[in-house]
A and B are shown apart, each in its own frame.
Chain A
């Protein structure tokens, strides 16, 4: 025991700031929220234990919960592939060996840094307003565009476009992945006269699979958690007509607008389970389409 302490004490001492942060600011609140999810808690009076009531209400009576799930799933299903395709496409262009590539890399990465900021969300609202910049451009070609953001039929797509625009970080990872594919494979394919499309499906995609998988998992998790941009664009409550009622926005409203912290905590735990299930599914499916170089079949 003493040996353990003398050997590890310096290490833990250096870790202390992080450990304190983890137990106080992360683990503590997580456990607290688990407890609160079984209570009725309005943030002013003390929490009152209600057992599974919150979860039962959520699945049996709460129409907005299902609406929020619907909106969030639609978004994830559209935004994740859109962003990954965009990221891969740009990565492949950059991989062709442009001059001053580091400059382009930086420029293309920029939207990812800005994308989740409040300023961009406000800009987005202006761009896609009835009298916004997008419609101004469309009017040149004689199209009278709708009010993209306040029309519930199109509002979700403006967010998908925003997600697509922030392709920077998966793009960088794709670029690194592309760089690690041996060039002689393509040379051999050239000699055999393999068309470019087949080179892409037979060489690039299979060899890039681990990287695609990595990006897929991270981006899916990211998409489920989208909050700040939607919060601003939807005026904080999923407007218009709940078409932007993302799960996180619904959760926030239950907690901070309607003072149902207990119920909101239950919602948070359900979101955790949903994300865990999707990540788990991705890992299970990866056996069939992701192969690593050092693996033998």
Chain B
């Protein structure tokens, strides 16, 4: 019996340790191979594999193996592969993680290929520079996006709402939610409760004239910012015009379980490139709105690179990898297949070529993008190490507030202090 006991025990212990001891698995393929790893959804995967097929047709002799997984597990798998020196040659990167990975030495700069095998000459400068860290280009922008509130057009029409959804304010919003709720007899609430949304919290703080972090990684958002944010939603929760607690505490649900798609609410929050995916799941037509701003204050939103493609330190065949990257952003056929699914491309040529082929939803997404251009603020500074953990801390604390386990003011003070602790510890 002791034997069984000990073996089972060792099993658990091994779990954490195994990852660190795992070593790279060498490839045996004779031909040139590159691995591309991205987080996806069914629609994105379909398009990406189609691009891979195109590339293999254009470049005989290079094989691309595509690997895909959901957002949440993506970063876990990435961490394990990074530790095992087994990263794919090309990976999809997020603005949130770019600096962390660069500072840990996991990515390679692209500058030496730009203008030679990676042609970016006429690309928009601002979105492109979002992929720079310490002056070097580590992430190739493969689409830009912004925060968006997606709303149900039919629900708005049924409730007789004609608000200007770009210029509406924080004061307008609760009344509109109330109208939708009562027009549907309480069956459809006005909006998802966004207390646990890190993205919207950040917009809120910016609307108050502050950034969440300063350049030195100090938390500059105040406890008042956070408390007022939670209070705002708490009041709507009390009025019964936003989604229920049990929905709110489910963090990052799949698209199919979000309020607007299930019909539980008329408004849910996303990133603008996700509009196509949402419309695909819904009968009612959807529209795009900005998050309501503070009267006479800034709008708080910003346009950011929605995804990057990055070259990893474990890359085997650099030339093949760069050729693949170049096709991604320049090849007319590939860019046509990719469309706007990953965000708005930063090559004007590609955008022009896409224009006549856009679906209605895609046209709406582009119109939204144009409408917000001169209302958005500048891209926030790169976040310090540990920022990812601060996000988790936020959703956790917000859940406790939503569940009435702690008062907003008290929770906010605690949150700001803990966030600073996390950042300091990660240095």
Spell out A's residues near B (CB within 8 Å). Answer: 25-26, 28-30, 32-33, 36, 41-45, 129-130, 147, 150-152, 214, 217-218, 221-222, 225, 235-237, 239-242, 248, 251-252, 255-259, 261, 264-265, 267-269, 271-272, 275, 279
Q: Is B116 an interface residue (CB 8 A)?
A: no
In the complex, are the beta carbons of B246 and A151 less than 8 A apart? yes
On chain A, the residues within 8 Å of B80 by CB distance are 43, 256
In the complex, are the beta carbons of A130 and B16 less than 8 A apart? no
On chain B, the residues within 8 Å of A29 by CB distance are 13-14, 17-18, 20-21
In the complex, are the beta carbons of B106 and A30 less than 8 A apart? no
On chain A, the residues within 8 Å of B75 by CB distance are 257
Interface size class of B (residues with CB under 8 A): 35 or more
Q: Is B399 an interface residue (CB 8 A)?
A: yes
SS of A interface (majority): helix
**Stretch of B3-11, B127-135, B360-368 with 4 or more beta carbons under 8 angstroms from chain A:** B3-11
**Taking A236-B72, A259-B79 as contacts, is the C-beta distance between A33 and B16 under 8 angstroms?**
yes
Contact digits for B1-42, partner A, Cβ 8 Å, 1 yes 0 no: 100110011101111111111000000000000000000000
Residues B69-119 near A (CB distance < 8 A): 72, 75-76, 79-80, 82-83, 101, 104-106
In the complex, are the beta carbons of A130 and B246 less than 8 A apart? yes
Residue pairs across A and B with Cβ atoms less than 8 A apart, 15 shown, are A26-B14, A30-B17, A33-B14, A44-B106, A150-B245, A152-B405, A225-B12, A237-B392, A239-B250, A239-B251, A241-B400, A241-B403, A256-B19, A267-B16, A268-B15
Min CB gap A97→B, angstroms: 29
On chain B, the residues within 8 Å of A259 by CB distance are 79
In the complex, are the beta carbons of B83 and A28 less than 8 A apart? no
On chain A, the residues within 8 Å of B1 by CB distance are 214, 217-218
* Complex alpha-carbon distance, A217 and B1, angstroms: 10
On chain B, the residues within 8 Å of A130 by CB distance are 244, 246
In the complex, are the beta carbons of A255 and B104 less than 8 A apart? no
On chain A, the residues within 8 Å of B10 by CB distance are 26, 30
On chain A, the residues within 8 Å of B21 by CB distance are 28-29, 32
Min CB gap B417→A, angstroms: 12
* Complex alpha-carbon distance, A271 and B244, angstroms: 37
Min CB gap A221→B, angstroms: 6
One of A256, A257, A261, A268 near B13 (C-beta < 8 A): A268
On chain A, the residues within 8 Å of B388 by CB distance are 257-258
In the complex, are the beta carbons of A44 and B389 less than 8 A apart? no
**Taking A32-B21, A236-B72, A261-B83 as contacts, is the C-beta distance between A255 and B250 under 8 angstroms?**
no
In the complex, are the beta carbons of A44 and B396 less than 8 A apart? no
In the complex, are the beta carbons of A221 and B5 less than 8 A apart? yes
On chain B, the residues within 8 Å of A222 by CB distance are 8
* Complex alpha-carbon distance, A42 and B82, angstroms: 10
**Taking A214-B1, A272-B13 as contacts, is the C-beta distance between A25 and B18 under 8 angstroms?**
yes
